[in-house]
Amino acid sequence: MSAALALGDDALVLSHRLGEWAGHAPVLEEEVALANIALDLLGQARVLLSLVGDEDELAYLREERAFRNLQLVEQPNGDFAHTIARQLYFSVHQHLLYAELAAGRSRFTDLAAKAVKEVAYHRDHAEHWVLRLGDGTAESHERLQTGLDALWRFTGEMFQHVEGLDIDWQALQGSWLAAITDVMERATLSVPDGPQSGAWAAGAGRQGLHTEPFGRMIAEMQHLHRSHPGASW
């Protein structure tokens, strides 16, 4: 599995999921924020996928089993709190990962050095909303806790080895867990059961095995391109 393909698919799929909030976000300011994050991720995806092949063909003409994204990023948006839970888990992971890549010397160093600045904003945005919702009303607290609990089982896959990335995955997982715990505690939220209980069940998105909602998302994302093959503006 190509590391560029794995990271590119993560960014592409989450970009599409966030783009689904267009016209549906709770407030106008948040609609703009989510759109900007989606565009940042799409830009990252274009660079990463172009390292593998034709970015349009990779995005629009591959079958479901050929995608190598994390199962976490393909999960449906749910309510706003659910989206924020997904964004917290992934953006903290991506920020830590890109910081490591930016400090190293690999084909991803330049990309990571630029992207880490974008991802720092994504992480800050997610953490801000976790604090606001977690320590807000009883309903916002409950909804966010529900989202965090539901998505926890997908987080273990973020720390599986990806060939081509010289990363200490165990150390990355420790840093991620410490950061997540800190935010949740400040937001008066409970950290879901950890890997010791067996609740941290890694997915298999990196192996091309995806959850049911992903097939419907891919069909929607690829529909226009497949309906008009070879079309240009």
- Summarize pLDDT for 107-141 with one digit per residue, the tens: 999 999 999 999 999 999 999 999 999 999 999 99
Nearest to 220 by CA among 54, 64, 72: 64
* Homologous superfamily, domain 3-227: Ferritin, core subunit, four-helix bundle (1.20.1260.10)
Average pLDDT, stretch 134-154?
A: 96
Q: Is the pLDDT of residue 207 over 60?
A: yes
Domain ranges for the chain, please list them: 3-227
Q: Is the pTM of this model over 0.85?
A: yes
Q: Is the pLDDT of residue 217 over 70?
A: yes
Average pLDDT, stretch 61-83?
A: 96
- From the number of C-beta atoms within 10 Å of its C-beta (0-12, 13-18, 19+), residue 156 rates as middle
Average pLDDT, stretch 160-189?
A: 96
Nearest to 88 by CA among 25, 182, 16, 21: 182
**Residue 157 neighbours by CB under 8 Å, 6+ apart:** 70, 71, 72, 202, 203, 204, 205, 206
Provide the token pair at 95.
């920020």
184 HSE (CA, 13 A, CB side): 22
Q: Is the pLDDT of residue 25 over 90?
A: no
Average pLDDT, stretch 4-33?
A: 89
- Chain centroid offset of residue 8 CA: 11
The mean of the pLDDT values for the chain is: 92
Percentage, residues of the chain above pLDDT 70:
95
Complete DSSP assignment for 1-15: --HHHHHHHHHHHHH
